Amino acid sequence: MSNIQEKHTAAGAPAEPPAPARSAVRGRLAVAAVTLGIFTVMTAELLPVGLLTPVGRDLGVSAGTAGLMVTVPGLVAAVSAPLLAVAAGRADRRLVLAGLMALVVAAHAASALAGHFAVVLGARVLLGVSIGGFWAFAGGLALRLVPEREVPRATAVIFGGVSAASVLGVPAGTLTGELGGWRVAFAVLGALALAVLAALVLLLPRLPAERGLRPADLARLPRESPAVRAGLVLTVLLVTGHFLAYTFIRPVLQERYGVGDGLVGVLLLGYGAAGLAGNFLAGAAAARNPRRTVLTVATGLAAALVATALLPALPGPAGAAAGGGAVPAVLLLAGWGLAYGGVSVGLQSWFLAAAPRAAEAATSLYVAAFCLSIAAGAALGGVLVDAVALGAAPAAGAILTLAAVVLCTRTTRIPPAAARTAAPAETP
């Protein structure tokens, strides 16, 4: 396995341009706007997770086919992240982010009005472009929005938007769908995207790129940095393993634990609270030791998926009503959420530490791997659920996350100062 060296800077990779001079308050407001944007695009990607059953029932497709609503934008985002990073050139990142958020608005308007599953998938393609580009540009913006001493905390806040999408956005969307129907859930998220678009335009400063990325920069970085290569493999293992199981968490809760429709959203909100706590705990720890942080969250996630795969199925709704199914489901989701909440910020800290002078290039590769892994997890999970059994998806996820634990134990420590040296000095 590859060892992580103290510094892995790709020769010739473009450094991030200096952060503009700005007040602390303005910088924090800008971070808040980017965080809300990350939350919105990631919630948009994962919203179907809690709505697979009603969408599939309404549009006449199976649960496995409905899972394509997660697979399609993940695949598109994986391609669009590096392509948009190159194509954007020196364009003002504020305008790029605003344009990508406008795509989210359009995609959700189309989904809410769709009368056929093919229309929904077409809208999800549009959404995938936005997801890949927005995350690729936003992931390293903390380096340009706040002073160097605040970069680790601001990075944790921004990636708290990723964790909050998985652990709060999806449950909230699920509850909205249960109360008003899945179309209402899509429409509400589209309205949120419109509000975020306004916040980005008003609160972000001009963010011109010093020079655009070149395809050669993206190809060179993993070739020259063992740490980046290891981070990409870890991303694939952890994220694919998680989404193998999480994409089908609703049918797992209902069929294996006898949880009724009305309790699914509530249980996912509990999962969300644990996950948000996990994000900030991991963010603080990753500023000191990214490798140990990723190892810890990988171990916790593997344990949760092993438990999901091995715990026996419980009788149906009657057992859940008596507490037989809901209690183990609560305990399982709490541990799962706490572990997965640290994945995004832990891995982002890994990449910033591994490539401190090529933050945008490293983040683009990370986002591509992350989104491709979401798509792979959802697609493979759909195949396993339809062709084998519902329990096969978490079992496969457990195997992949255990492999990630093994990989982490074979790497050496990234110096915590590396991530902080990524931030260039502010201009006077």
H helices of 204-260, where? 215-224, 226-246, 249-257
The one-letter amino acid code at 320 reads A
pLDDT digits (tens, 9 = 90+) for 218-233: 888 888 888 899 999 9
pLDDT at 422: 37
Q: Per the domain annotation, does 16 fall within a domain?
A: no
- Whether residue 425 is contained in a domain is answered as no
Does residue 126 form part of some domain?
yes
Residue 332 lies in a domain: yes
Q: Which of 365, 343, 338, 342 is nearest to 354 (CA)?
A: 365
- Tell me if 202 sits within 8 A of 293, measured CB to CB: no
Query: How much helix, strand and coil, in percent to the nearest 5, is found in the chain?
Result: 80, 0, 20
Which position has the token pair 């195997």? 399
Number of Cβ within a 10 Å radius of residue 373: 24
In total, the chain counts a number of residues equal to: 428
Residue 427, in any domain of the structure: no
Predicted pLDDT at 367: 85
State residue 65's pLDDT score: 81
Rg of the Cα trace of the chain?
20
Closest CA to 111 of 129, 123, 126: 123
pLDDT at residue 274, as a whole number: 87
**238 and 347 Cβ atoms separated by less than 8 Å:** yes
CB proximity list for 161: less than 8 A, separation 6 or greater: 34, 35, 36, 37, 38, 39, 42
* Cβ-contact 229, 410 below 8 angstroms: no
Q: Tell me: the pLDDT tens digits for 350-359?
A: 888 888 777 7
For the chain, how many structural domains are there in total? 1
**What is this structure's pTM?**
0.74
Q: List, for the chain, all residue ranges whose pLDDT scores fall below the cut of 70.
A: 1-23, 166-167, 209-213, 261-262, 312-326, 412-428
CA trace torsion 341, 343, 346, 348 (10° rounding): -110
Q: What does residue 241 show for φ and ψ, rounded to 5 degrees? A: -60, -45
Is residue 63 a part of any domain in this protein?
A: yes
Q: Is residue 172 a part of any domain in this protein?
A: yes
- For residue 302, the enclosing domain spans 24-420
What CA–CA distance (Å, rounded) separates 2 from 408? 10
Query: What pLDDT, on the 0 to 100 scale, is given for residue 7?
Result: 41
Interior angle at CA 16, CA 13 and CA 19, nearest 5? 170
Answer for the pair 203, 82: CB distance below 8 angstroms, yes or no: no
**CA distance linking residue 396 with residue 58, whole number of Å:** 29
Q: What is the CATH number of the domain that holds 160?
A: 1.20.1250.20
Question: How far does the chain reach from its first CA to its final CA, in angstroms?
Answer: 44
Distance, CA of 188 to CA of 181 (rounded, Å): 11
Give me the phi and psi of 295, to 5 degrees please. Answer: -60, -40
Tell whether 319 is covered by a domain. Answer: yes
